[in-house]
């Protein structure tokens, strides 16, 4: 595992953010190494989303600093974060259903060709580029001409991840990429996450599906009511321990126990 040896890519230090009287984040720290997959877990309202939004520039923290590759950065908007090569795949995926796969992958940066001086979309290049982008990550797609509305949930997720990766990010944040997917599709998306991190991209994975963490993550960080409560290397923990850390007490989870081979 890369953890512990690869250079630090991100250090978030003492990040605090309050929404009115509610302290969503209270002096939270996060470190992420190059090529590492970090699982970010916690109960609803623990601050996972807020923390990821701070890193993606969607939320400006009240306090704290972010150090990216040794340099302090300030993100006032998602555009700032994107400029520093931080990409986020949102849960709603941000795809245009009635536009085809290639069009979605290249939305906003379509290759052009000039016909009689008029700039038109270069469809052939779009489909070729799209095929290459997908092939690069091993994403299988029947055709780049399919409209996104005709794809399965897993395929849509793959398109969203593929698009984010095509911006050549240093850090990719994924919010619940495997929620509401069929079993085989979860495996495909997890394999995709592995492929992304193998390219040296640092990944933050937010998920409620704890078993997924043990497939792809190098390390798990647990938030509880806006505070760091624990960090575990994946080889040194179990689902039961993570469940207990998430809920903040010893908890006999029927659902988590059923997933684990060594139920108590």
Partner 1 sequence: MTPAAPEIARGRRASEWRHRAKMFAHDSGGVVSIAVFFLAMVVLFSLITDTFLTQTNLLNILRQIAPLMIVAVAMTFVITTGGIDLSVGSVLALVNALAAISLQAGLPWPIVVVLMLLVGVALGLLNGFFVAREGIPAFIVTLAGLSAIRGFALYLTKGYSIPIDPASPFNEIGRGWVFGIPLPAIIAVVVFIAGYVVFNETTFGRYVTGVGANAEAVRRSGVNIQRVVVAVYALSGLSAALAGLIIAARLGSGSSNAGVGFELEVIAAVVLGGTSLFGGRGTLVGTLLGALTVAVIGNGLILCHLSPFLTPIVEGVIILVAIWLNFRIFRTGRRAA
Burial class (CB in 10 A: 0-12, 13-18, 19+), 257: middle
Cβ-based nearer residue to partner 1, 85 or 194: 85
Instruction: Specify the residue, 171 or 217, whose C-beta has the smaller distance to partner 1.
Output: 171
Cβ atoms of residues 222 and 229 within 8 Å: yes
Q: How far is the CB of 112 from partner 1 (least distance, A)?
A: 7
Work out how close the CB of 61 gets to partner 1 at its nearest, in angstroms, rounded to a whole number.
21
> Looking at beta carbons only, is 35 or 103 nearer to partner 1?
103
CB of 119 to partner 1, least distance (A): 7
In whole angstroms, the minimum distance from the beta carbon of 174 to partner 1 comes to 15
Residue closer to partner 1 (CB basis): 44 or 98: 98
β-strands 22-33, 8-19 pairing = antiparallel
Inter-residue contact 222 to 230 (CB < 8 Å): yes
- Tell me how far apart the terminal alpha carbons of the chain are, to the nearest angstrom: 29
Residues in CB range of 191: below 8 A, 6 or more apart: 138
Residue placing its CB nearer to partner 1 in the complex, 65 or 83: 83
In the complex, what is the shortest distance from the CB of residue 149 to partner 1, in angstroms, rounded to a whole number? 4
Distance set, CA 138 to CA 40, 44, 195, 264 (Å) = 25, 33, 8, 39
Residues that bind partner 1 (CB under 8 A): 78-79, 92-99, 103-104, 107-110, 112, 118-121, 142-143, 145-147, 149-150
State which residue, 144 or 244, has the beta carbon closest to partner 1.
144
At closest approach, how far in Å is the CB of 219 from partner 1? 29
């Amino acid at each position: 595992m890369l953890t512990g040896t690869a250079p630090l890519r991100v250090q978030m230090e003492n990040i605090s953010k309050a929404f009115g009287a509610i302290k969503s984040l209270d002096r939270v720290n996060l470190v992420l190494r190059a090529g590492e997959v970090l699982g970010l877990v916690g109960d609803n309202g623990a601050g996972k989303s807020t923390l990821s939004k701070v890193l993606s520039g969607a939320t400006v923290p009240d306090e704290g600093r972010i150090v990216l590759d040794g340099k302090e950065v300030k993100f006032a908007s998602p555009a700032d974060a994107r400029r520093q090569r931080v990409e986020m795949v949102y849960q709603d995926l941000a795809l245009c259903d009635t536009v085809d796969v290639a069009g979605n992958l290249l939305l906003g940066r379509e290759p052009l060709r000039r016909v009689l001086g008029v700039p038109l979309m270069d469809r052939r290049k779009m489909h070729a580029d799209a095929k290459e982008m997908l092939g690069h990550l091993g994403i299988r797609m029947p055709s780049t001409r399919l409209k996104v509305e005709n794809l399965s949930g897993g395929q849509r997720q793959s398109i969203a991840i593929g698009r984010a990766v095509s911006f050549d990010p240093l850090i990719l944040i994924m919010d619940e990429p495997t929620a509401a997917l069929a079993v085989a599709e979860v495996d495909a998306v997890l394999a995709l996450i592995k492929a992304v991190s193998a390219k040296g991209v640092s990944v933050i994975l937010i998920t409620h599906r704890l078993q997924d963490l043990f497939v792809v993550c190098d390390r798990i960080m647990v938030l509880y009511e806006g505070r760091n409560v624990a960090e575990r290397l994946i080889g040194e923990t179990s689902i039961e321990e993570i469940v207990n850390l998430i809920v903040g007490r010893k908890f006999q989870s029927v659902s988590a126990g059923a997933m684990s081979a060594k139920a108590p």
